[in-house]
Chains A and B, each alone.
Chain A
């Protein structure tokens, strides 16, 4: 993408004006929000859509035989259409869940328990968020599958030699892996991974919690079997997430939870299930939140992923270059293809102290193991600080981080 397009497609001041929270002050300082990978801030259009829904068009969905319920059901289903278009999927393949975590648990408990046999193996990578590790450990303990871990290289890429190794005995039926690491920033080569898994008779689940925010995702082009993400990282509300599954797989899966909405008919003796996606949406869903997610997708589409990716590439390059000039700062991950998160350590200073001292300067970063404890252990670090970027992040904010880090070092006499 050319620089000219970048200029035209991306007016950072206009974008910042869309996010009311960015004018807030923290400890009397201008807010520098560098924690979007944990959860992103919300644009006015998302906030307004949700408020307008509650003020003018709200009722329960799919049950009322009245005007409001019909309008609200239309809006809710329109949000499903938006998500379907966003991922290049069919609407019947889009299941609303609470978040990425719930989406992965749903697959583990339904697909995992019905399609996998105790003698089958599931593979996850060393750089998974706990959300894509713990559900498989639970399935292993309940159901007896073998859980295998594929290594990453020191640069932070998937180690394909090791992938060959874990697949050699032909027992692997599912590869569950991140599309972008929330610690190392690594984008995994998802189409190649999908082809690799499919050639060996396995399905692939992609944790898109981070990737979906930074790049256009086409589940057909990738040939993903399952793809999961959360609304709150995509400038949408919390409490809503998405599970995409290929229809044939979803159709063969039993329900996750039982209750209203997910049934075809119920008697005291037994019930029959509705078709996907409703089979997996028991009970009253997060109605306003789903509609808010639809507005978030409209917002992201209005900027366009070409512009978003280019902006974040510039921010990430600038952050890596700037942090490299500070003595004692080590950044994690050297993947060729990486997105807008930069985790780092400061020599002799614990990440919590870094985060607290930055916070006093109005700068919000994340500190800890980022819900990827086995990964931080694998990297040989106890805890790290992480700066992560969104559409509203500026180069100046990264410079402010660098100044802030030097102040932290001064407090510690380094």
Chain B
């Protein structure tokens, strides 16, 4: 268990992903989509995903926002691929808890999400990091609705 320091916030990983995100773009064929937006600042994340065998196969996001928001959306893409819906909710819970507490959880599937722990120190920026996850949860929720009629 580690506590993140503020200096970690604008580290190279975050800056890399903000500049050249790997999952940015628009999926034309998709199984679910949702948008998260923060009216306080105008940040907007649009998530689309395609499923493969009950798990997320591809995730693309179109993000208009700050470096924290873009990198959070992109690192979420890394972590979400290969996961089933229940695992996504679990991961999202753990991520949101890390942003609130600054404590990096001990779990292997957390990958580079830990890079965002420093956002903890900036309360006004918490929403920037959690907005992509809110969109992903909403997208998953919508497919469930479709499936259950």
Question: Within the complex, what minimum Cβ distance (angstroms) separates A215 from chain B?
Answer: 31
Is A317 part of the binding interface, using a Cβ–Cβ cutoff of 8 Å?
no
**How many of chain B's residues touch chain A, expressed as a range?**
10 to 19
Binds B, one of A70-78, A88-96, A186-194, A348-356: A348-356
- Residues 347-402 of A at the B interface (beta carbon under 8 Å): 349-353, 356-357, 359-360, 367-369, 373, 376, 382-383
Is B40 part of the binding interface, using a Cβ–Cβ cutoff of 8 Å?
yes
CA A369 – CA B64 in complex, angstroms?
14
Is B146 part of the binding interface, using a Cβ–Cβ cutoff of 8 Å?
no
Contacting residues, chain A, for B26 (C-beta < 8 A): none
Is B66 part of the binding interface, using a Cβ–Cβ cutoff of 8 Å?
yes
Contacting residues, chain A, for B15 (C-beta < 8 A): 411-413
* 1/0 contact string of B28-70 vs chain A (CB within 8 Å): 0000000000001111000000000000000000001111110
Q: Chain B CB within 10 Å — which of A352, A376, A383, A413 has the most?
A: A352
Question: Within the complex, what minimum Cβ distance (angstroms) separates A400 from chain B?
Answer: 19
- Residues 263-305 of A at the B interface (beta carbon under 8 Å): none
* Chain B residue with Cβ nearest A352: B66
With contacts A350-B67, A382-B64 taken as known, whether A369 is within 8 angstroms of B42 at the C-beta atoms is yes
CA A373 – CA B38 in complex, angstroms?
13
Contacting residues, chain A, for B41 (C-beta < 8 A): 352, 367-369, 383
Contacting residues, chain A, for B10 (C-beta < 8 A): 353, 357, 411
Is B104 part of the binding interface, using a Cβ–Cβ cutoff of 8 Å?
no
- Residues 69-105 of B at the A interface (beta carbon under 8 Å): 69
Question: Within the complex, what minimum Cβ distance (angstroms) separates B40 from chain A?
Answer: 7
Interface size on A (CB < 8 Å)? Answer: 20
CA A369 – CA B15 in complex, angstroms?
24
Is B128 part of the binding interface, using a Cβ–Cβ cutoff of 8 Å?
yes
Q: Chain B CB within 10 Å — which of A351, A356, A411 has the most?
A: A356
Mostly, the B contact residues are: mixed
A356–B122 touching, CB < 8 Å: yes
Mostly, the A contact residues are: mixed
CA A353 – CA B67 in complex, angstroms?
7
CA A352 – CA B122 in complex, angstroms?
11
* 1/0 contact string of A7-49 vs chain B (CB within 8 Å): 0000000000000000000010000000000000000000000
- Residues 179-238 of A at the B interface (beta carbon under 8 Å): none
Residues of A within 8 A of B (CB): 27, 349-353, 356-357, 359-360, 367-369, 373, 376, 382-383, 411-413
Residues of B within 8 A of A (CB): 6, 9-10, 15, 19, 40-43, 64-69, 122, 125, 128
A-B pairs, top 6 by smallest CB distance, nearest first, are A350-B66, A352-B66, A353-B66, A353-B67, A368-B41, A411-B10
